[in-house]
Amino acid sequence: MARATTLEQVAERAGVSRQTVSNAINAPEKLHPDTLRRVRRVIDELGYRPDSGARALRTRSSGLIGYCVAERQDGSINVFMDRYLRALTAEVERTGRHLLLFTAPDGEDGLAVYEDLLARSAVDGFVLSNTTVGDPRHAWLRAREVPFASFGRIWTGEPQPGPWVDVDGASGTAQAVEHLVAQGHTRIGFLGLQAGNPVGDDRERGWRRACADHGAQVDDRLVARSADEHRDQGEAAAALLDSDDPPTALVAANDAIALGAYAALEARGLRPGTDVALTGFDDSPTAAVVRPGLTSLRQPIEQIAARVVRLLDHPEDDRGELLRPELVVRASSVNDDGGRNG
Amino acid sequence: MARATTLEQVAERAGVSRQTVSNAINAPEKLHPDTLRRVRRVIDELGYRPDSGARALRTRSSGLIGYCVAERQDGSINVFMDRYLRALTAEVERTGRHLLLFTAPDGEDGLAVYEDLLARSAVDGFVLSNTTVGDPRHAWLRAREVPFASFGRIWTGEPQPGPWVDVDGASGTAQAVEHLVAQGHTRIGFLGLQAGNPVGDDRERGWRRACADHGAQVDDRLVARSADEHRDQGEAAAALLDSDDPPTALVAANDAIALGAYAALEARGLRPGTDVALTGFDDSPTAAVVRPGLTSLRQPIEQIAARVVRLLDHPEDDRGELLRPELVVRASSVNDDGGRNG
């Protein structure tokens, strides 16, 4: 970005004092109309953006918090956007500000957008979402002392470069395992994301730990991974169902994979709940309407929004915070002896 | 709106100079406390809003377009929020601005929020969504000459008080009927929203017109209405399925009602597609993952966002515009002779 025009440059070109330029912007009624016209012409010529130059002098902030709307090149939809943005908007308003939406490319390429928003004093800080492995934004913002808080931990690097809130995925899958163990299952499969996906690895850890803690089998042959975490076709479930010693229950790392398992079960004449217990993760709108209903883990979206805004203004609470999802039990994980009222 | 109070009026009433009023707002430390109190009292009495008075003099706009995030007291989720806000943000950025999110109550109560945003020059205009019958915002904004454009027509009153884009619901259900007629159906039921809901009435009109145009039966006994358009339990479909002369195909006014019909069909040992053809409306994420897949009408969300922003800046195109949804055919509406690969 070219260096921004300064107040001084405008004053010099217009042959007036800095105060006069400031008045032209903030108190035009104080100036003679001819002077005002002259200063404004120079402001236009130089493309001067007063907010940028005057930032340090300003007594008022923009009153806006920036939020980047993710691009989602995979075409997937975040069905929680409605709940999350509504909650976030309301929380930010509670602090007397508003949310400014913008788009930016992922990774380093996107930092120019953040820089431009700051240079124009368009925002006072950022709420980050859609964090990725190696996400450069947190360290970049911290280095510039820009207030921010993140929904989603930064998966690499300690200490974490700033406050964050995240869903405790391991706690969620552990709850699912405990629910299945309580119904007598001891051989519980895990339908995971691609290896190395930190969200999937986290959820797998919870499954593994809870199985070990509660006497269920822990065996790598009980793990299968989905090739497409957004549109799973059931291959992962098929691999476990067709094995020599198939599990009697399946914990899926997300609802899309669990719904893929519905297809794999149906193709084998099996029904979720009745024949094989099945749980998802996310409690998507679909979970409640498929038949039988899909047991899943509901993310505490409203609580996340409240905590993110709190951390934005209280970065001294700079430790990261994991929020526990809630298991919503539906018919897919409960053997009701052939009942079809799922 | 009453004409805004001016700096001059405050100065006159308080018996001080304009500069003193300006100081009371911008540099209160310069004034004697008694003077400051007096001026502030008059500011309150007259409801003077400094930014409002200065608005006409400003050389710069805020560069922000306001967008109200709906409250959704019914707890429903708008699963298109992600796609729509992403598209809208990108379109607004293309014009060099950003989107400002805010919350406001529905109806007249919400207008104070719009007024406050304008008074503070926080936004230059609005994109409206979630329009309701008797929505007061359009006429209110037009009266104030505030730029706006609406996703969603204003259902009452002609001429329409401002530019809008909407999905052509009637065209959508007509496409569904044509698709079903092409497969030999002549008795096609309609699962509607509550009578008087303009979205539902519009979609019913398309069903009725296409049935008449293509030789299918038109009969009020082929219409049943859902009691809850967000969480239909299948009662509407049940009423038609259990009638003396049940339809062989069902056109639902939205996906939630179509998914309710899945339950009603299952309870009767029937399968969508195989036994009774079924279509939805909205092409929600669930439509693609239920089994069998639900034929539905995809709303042109990205096109809507582009047109809304275009109308915001070109209100002379002030006629309203209906965009055609696209029929996405899946197994729920196609009898493949018992195939189960839905």
B15: left (phi over 0), alpha (psi -120 to 50) or beta: left
Q: How far is CA A331 from the centre of its chain?
A: 29
Q: Evaluate whether A147 touches A114 at the Cβ level (below 8 Å).
A: no
Assign B89 a pLDDT band (cuts: 50, 70, 90). Answer: very high
Q: What is the SS3 assignment for A23?
A: helix
Bridge partners, residue B251, by sequence: B190, B279
**What average pLDDT does range B201-223 have in this prediction?**
97
A234 token code pair: 């059931």
Tell whether the model's pLDDT for residue A7 goes beyond 60: yes
pLDDT, mean over chain B? 87
A99/B98 touch (CB, cutoff 8 Å), yes or no:
no
Tell whether the model's pLDDT for residue A149 goes beyond 80: yes
CB-count exposure of residue A262 (10 Å: 0-12, 13-18, 19+): buried
More confident position, A54 or A272? A272
| B76 phi, psi to nearest 5 deg | -75, 160
Please state the ipTM of this predicted complex: 0.77
CATH architecture of B64-167+301-323: 3-Layer(aba) Sandwich (3.40)
pLDDT value of residue B118? 93
Residues of A in contact with B256 (CB under 8 A): 289
**Any idea what the Cα angle at residue A316 is, between residues A310 and A321, rounded to 5°?**
60
B102/A100 touch (CB, cutoff 8 Å), yes or no:
no
Whole-number Å distance between alpha carbons of A77 and A60? 37
Tell whether the model's pLDDT for residue A59 goes beyond 50: no
Nearest chain A alpha carbon to B232: A289
More confident position, B327 or A196? B327
Q: Which of B69, B81, B266 sits opposite A340 (nearest CB)?
A: B266
Tell whether the model's pLDDT for residue B255 goes beyond 50: yes
Q: What is the SS3 assignment for A192?
A: strand
Interface test with chain B among A19, A65, A101, by most B beta carbons within 10 Å: A101
Q: Which residues of B150-162 are buried (b: 16+ CB within 10 A; e: fewer)?
A: bbbbbbeeeebbb
pLDDT value of residue A54? 40
pTM value is 0.78
Homologous superfamily, domain A7-50: lambda repressor-like DNA-binding domains (1.10.260.40)
A268 token code pair: 């084998």
**What average pLDDT does range B213-223 have in this prediction?**
96
Q: Evaluate whether A287 touches A293 at the Cβ level (below 8 Å).
A: yes
Asked if A299 has any chain B CB less than 8 Å from its own CB, the reply is no
Asked if B116 has any chain A CB less than 8 Å from its own CB, the reply is no
Tell whether the model's pLDDT for residue A3 goes beyond 80: no
Fold of the domain spanning A169-299: Rossmann fold (3.40.50)
Tell whether the model's pLDDT for residue B282 goes beyond 80: yes
Nearest-Cα distance to chain A for B204, in Å, is: 24
A225 token code pair: 């991974």
Nearest chain B alpha carbon to A47: B60
B98/A101 touch (CB, cutoff 8 Å), yes or no:
yes
pLDDT value of residue A342? 40
Q: What is the SS3 assignment for B59?
A: coil
Asked if A40 has any chain B CB less than 8 Å from its own CB, the reply is yes
CA nearest neighbour of B190 among B176, B329, B259, A289? B176
pLDDT in tens, A312-328: 988 776 678 899 999 99
A93/B72 touch (CB, cutoff 8 Å), yes or no:
no
CA nearest neighbour of B260 among B276, B289, B280, B243? B280
Interface list for B 3-32 with A (CB within 8 A): 7, 18-19, 22, 26
CA nearest neighbour of A258 among A239, A282, A242, A274? A282
Residues of B in contact with A259 (CB under 8 A): 289
Assign B101 a pLDDT band (cuts: 50, 70, 90). Answer: very high
pLDDT in tens, B72-88: 666 666 777 888 999 99
Nearest chain B alpha carbon to A99: B101
Assign B161 a pLDDT band (cuts: 50, 70, 90). Answer: confident
pLDDT in tens, A88-111: 999 999 999 999 999 999 889 999
Interface test with chain A among B127, B286, B309, by most A beta carbons within 10 Å: B286
pLDDT, mean over chain A? 87
**What average pLDDT does range A228-254 have in this prediction?**
93
More confident position, A46 or B297? B297
B4 token code pair: 């805004």
pLDDT value of residue B74? 62
Place of tokens 């009927």: B177
pLDDT value of residue B130? 86
pLDDT in tens, B232-243: 889 999 999 999
Residues of A in contact with B81 (CB under 8 A): 81-82, 85
Whole-number Å distance between alpha carbons of B201 and B133? 13
Asked if B81 has any chain A CB less than 8 Å from its own CB, the reply is yes
What number of CA atoms fall less than 13 Å from residue A50's CA on the CB side? 23
Nearest chain B alpha carbon to A265: B291
Tell whether the model's pLDDT for residue B183 goes beyond 80: yes
Residue ranges covered by each domain of chain A: 7-50, 64-167+301-323, 169-299
**DSSP summary character for residue B192:** E
What is the residue-wise DSSP string for A88-147? HHHHHHHTT-EEEEE---SGGGGHHHHHHHHHTT--SEEEE-S--TT-SHHHHHHHTT--
| B54 phi, psi to nearest 5 deg | -85, -5
Q: Which of A101, A284, A340 sits opposite B101 (nearest CB)?
A: A101
Whole-number Å distance between alpha carbons of B190 and B223? 5
Bridge partners, residue B126, by sequence: B66, B148
Domain B7-50 and domain B169-299, same fold? Reply is no
Q: Which of A40, A83, A86 sits opposite B59 (nearest CB)?
A: A40
